[in-house]
Amino acid sequence: MWRFSGNQLKRWRTKANVSREELAAASNYSPDTIKAMEQGVRMPTPRVLDVADELCGAEGILSAAKDYLSREKFPPRAQEFMEREREAVSRWSYDATYIPGLLQTQAYTRTLIENRYPPLEQETVEERITGRMERQAILTERKPPVALSFVVYEAALRSPLVDAGQLRRLLEVSRLRNVALQVLPFERAVPAALLGPMVLLETRDHERFAYGEGQLGSQLSADPDVVSRTTERLSMIRAEALSPAESARFIERMVDQR
């Protein structure tokens, strides 16, 4: 629907001999943003559709598209992973830089999303925050419970973005029967721990997926070789990490130091 609406937007604009710059100025967006909407990279906003409808004489056709568009709660590159996560019966992960999304407080999530570059529109920010909070239902609301294992590098805990409330949230979640939370201290870091975050998922049908995400892209793979390599890396990191009980004491000491 994004691409179709964007295509219609471009067709009506061209037919009416309205330049991209004129539409941008009238709707208070940049020409590059209008281009992204026309190409389906960004969702055409209600304001742009209404302004374009009037400028192009579309007689309500463009404005009507508002009822069929929905803002995605997750970035396009992560949507397939989120679908698989909803089907998971087990989920193992390692995070080197940030607190895992499933364990984040809303305040921490907001700080990350609001400070993303290039900046997101405020509507998108709110949808992304809502989406991340809704994902956390996997912690307690699935039956049977999902087996969840998290390993977090000490660097993520030491970030200035992490406050006492976020640390207490980690302790709270670590007490759940279906959750294992481990901390990898600086002194126990192995080379594999410096290569970035990773997730292993297994579905009800016993399909296994490996997921990795970086600044320039992400990959969800069911390739047995990729899953095997990811499993080996994650297993090595888990073996070096503190036990769940030791990890809880580690985080408790951090709370006391705040």
At residue 82, the pLDDT reads 82
Closest to 181 in 3D by CA, of 96, 233, 247: 247
Q: What is the pLDDT of residue 73?
A: 57
Residue 167 above 60 pLDDT? yes
Q: Of 221 and 249, which is predicted with more confidence?
A: 249
- The confidence score (pLDDT) of residue 87 equals 86
pLDDT mean across residues, the chain: 91
Mean pLDDT of 225-253: 97
Query: With 90 as the cut, is the pLDDT of residue 135 above it?
Result: yes
Cis peptide before 197 (omega within 30 of 0): no
Residues 6+ apart with CB under 8 A from 48: 9, 23, 27, 29, 34, 37
- What's the average model confidence in pLDDT over 27-55? 88
Q: How far is CA 16 from the centre of its chain?
A: 39
CA 249 remoteness from chain centre: 29
Q: What is the pLDDT of residue 74?
A: 59
Higher-scoring residue by pLDDT: 121, 233: 233
Confidence (pLDDT) at 18: 94
Cβ neighbour number for residue 257 with a 10 Å cutoff: 8
- Segment 209-226 mean pLDDT: 84
Lowest mean pLDDT across 9-23, 61-75, 221-235: 61-75
* Stretch 50-63: mean pLDDT: 93
As a whole number, mean pLDDT of residues 232-253 equals 97
How far is it, in rounded angstroms, from Cα 175 to Cα 218?
Answer: 31
